[in-house]
Amino acid sequence: MSELLLLKKEDCKSCYKCIRECALKSIRFAENRAQIVENECVYCGHCYVVCPQSAKEIRSDTARAKALIASGRPVVVSLAPSFIADFPVSGLAEMRRALTALGFAEVEETARGARIVKSEYERMIASGEHRLIISSCCHSVNLLIQKRYPRALQYLARVDSPMVAHAKSIKARMPGAAVVFIGPCVSKKDEAERCGQVDCVLTFDELTDWLQEAGVPLGESGALDGTEARSRFFPTPGGIIKSMDQQADFTYIPIDGLRRCMDALEEIERGGMENCFVEMNACEGSCIGGPVMHRYHREPITCKTRVDHYGGRSG
């Protein structure tokens, strides 16, 4: 597995900021530069955000996506619902127009997979077989539990992330198709390599650069379309819980931010929690606070408002 977060050696000024900021202490100083310890990293991307020299960069997979299109296979985009907070468009139709101009065969929202996932969480709770459930949508949280909190692993839901659930759905409906996920996350690149269902992952930055390179414009519409789907709330804090039909005898707890997740996992490992569904996201602000979003869109109120208005209340 190739590195996901790369260091531009000539730009690293040995300021130690990434080392100080890393919650997992998975960055070491060696050979006069900061180096990520791959087997300890959960790919939250925080070091990419805080580096004052822009010495960290996310591995680009644009060439891989272009190769998939050139292969002649139909290539379908699974577009993270946080797109509405990153791009100046009114909805999916404008993104579909731009992405099909790049050669993609079809574009669907990952919110379709989120609907599958939230239904599975609801089924688990209704079964009465689980006294404590930790959401499994955030790959960085999943890695955190696997690497640092093994006693909490029993509570991690054995449920696909929306990205994987959606990819499986696409491939079932369109045999032979390839799936490219596009979103604000670094760790999804690692998840795709592990799960084998997603053929390529691009960040919103990679897509923006590709659109500019190809001369494909995006609309500048401020009005959001009227389609509603609660599963579009997934990229916001508490968004998974907001999308679910909740049971009165269960407590639903949203936690975002890697350090807060670590505090919660320590509490979970101590035991004693009953009838709780814990929604965990490594990024502060959930996916709309992801590393690509946070670095270039420091407007958390505007981002959440756009997702809320786009999501609506039904569906």
Q: Are 179 and 198 in contact (CB under 8 A)?
A: yes
- Report pLDDT digits (tens) over 76-109: 999 999 999 989 898 999 999 999 999 999 999 9
- Report pLDDT digits (tens) over 234-280: 999 999 999 999 999 999 999 999 999 999 999 999 998 899 999 99
For residue 297, the tally of other CB atoms under 10 A from its CB is 18
- 0.75 exceeded by pTM: yes
pLDDT band at 1 (very low <50, low <70, confident <90, very high): very low
- Report pLDDT digits (tens) over 181-202: 999 999 999 999 999 999 999 9
pLDDT of residue 294: 53
227-262: burial string, b at 16+ Cβ within 10 Å, e else: eebbbbbbbbbbbbbbbbeeeeebebebbbbbeebb
Across the chain, the runs of DSSP E, i.e. the strands, are: 5-7, 27-30, 33-36, 56-58, 75-79, 106-109, 132-134, 178-183, 200-203, 251-256, 276-281
> Over 80: is that where the pLDDT of 286 sits?
yes
pLDDT of residue 68: 98
- Report pLDDT digits (tens) over 40-75: 999 999 999 998 888 888 999 999 999 999 999 999
Mean pLDDT of the chain: 91
Q: Are 118 and 243 in contact (CB under 8 A)?
A: yes
pLDDT of residue 284: 93
pLDDT band at 25 (very low <50, low <70, confident <90, very high): very high
Long-range CB pairs of 9-16 (<8 Å, 24+ gap) are: 9/33, 9/55, 11/53, 11/54, 11/55, 12/53, 12/55, 13/53, 13/55, 15/52, 15/53
Between 72-81, 87-96, 128-137, 159-168, the lowest mean confidence (pLDDT) is in 87-96
pLDDT, mean of residues 125-140:
96
> Over 80: is that where the pLDDT of 146 sits?
yes
